[in-house]
Amino acid sequence: MTGPDRLAATRNYALAALVSLVGLTDAIYLTIEHLTGDSVRCTVTAGCSEVLGSAYASIGGVPVAALGALAYFIAFSLATLAAFGHEWTRRLLAAVVATMLAATLWLLFVQAVILHAFCQYCLLSAAVTLILSGIVAIEWYMRQRSLARPQPRPEGRRAIVASREAGD
């Protein structure tokens, strides 16, 4: 990866880490409200109580928001490591975000089709996941494009040795 490509990747992954923190904050808030039994006050939509009080709000007694908090924490950690150049985290981050996107699409379906109610905090989480998915997709595309680009010839002594080996 060239210097400008590496800088762009660092910026993209740093942005992904920041976006993950927004999702983590939202999910922690919802988890605390769920566990304490407090009702969440909606200001933008009117369906928070219906959504967060539904059978779909927990899996085996674990709040879905807690699973979201875990996913956002993992995404934040992997994006931070990727921003610092740890290559192995990039594919793992893509897999985590793809799983988050699938869960988000399912939960949006549940809100729209089954419950006929929307929770603004859930919609914020969905937006954050969609943004993360976009960042990861853009980074994947940029990486593929960078790998497909012909690499420049080495300079200096290596160029001479490479030239002699090639029969020039």
Long-range CB pairs of 29-33, under 8 A, 24+ apart, other chains included: 29/121, 30/63, 30/65, 30/68, 30/121, 30/122, 30/125, 31/63, 31/65, 31/66, 31/68, 31/69
Mark residue 96 as left, alpha or beta (left: phi above 0; alpha: psi -120 to 50; beta: remaining).
alpha
- The pLDDT of residue 38 is 84
Q: What is the mean pLDDT of residues 3-8?
A: 78
Between 86 and 147, name the one with better pLDDT: 86
Q: Please give the residue range of the domain that contains residue 147.
A: 3-165
- The pLDDT of residue 2 is 59
- The pLDDT of residue 1 is 53
Convert the pLDDT of each residue in 92-122 to its tens digit.
Answer: 999 999 999 999 999 999 999 999 999 999 9
pLDDT higher than threshold 70 for residue 166: no
Convert the pLDDT of each residue in 134-157 to its tens digit.
Answer: 999 999 888 787 766 666 666 665
Residues 137, 52: Cα–Cα separation, whole Å = 30
How many domains does one find in the chain? 1
Residue % of the chain over a pLDDT of 70: 85
Q: Among the listed ranges 44-48, 99-103, 115-119, 164-168, which one has the minimum average pLDDT value?
A: 164-168
Q: What is the mean pLDDT of residues 16-45?
A: 92
Q: What is the mean pLDDT of residues 38-61?
A: 88
pLDDT higher than threshold 90 for residue 165: no
Q: Among the listed ranges 62-71, 118-127, 151-160, which one has the minimum average pLDDT value?
A: 151-160
Q: Report the CATH number that the domain containing residue 119 is assigned in CATH.
A: 1.20.1440.130
Between 76 and 1, name the one with better pLDDT: 76
What is the identity of the amino acid at 133? S
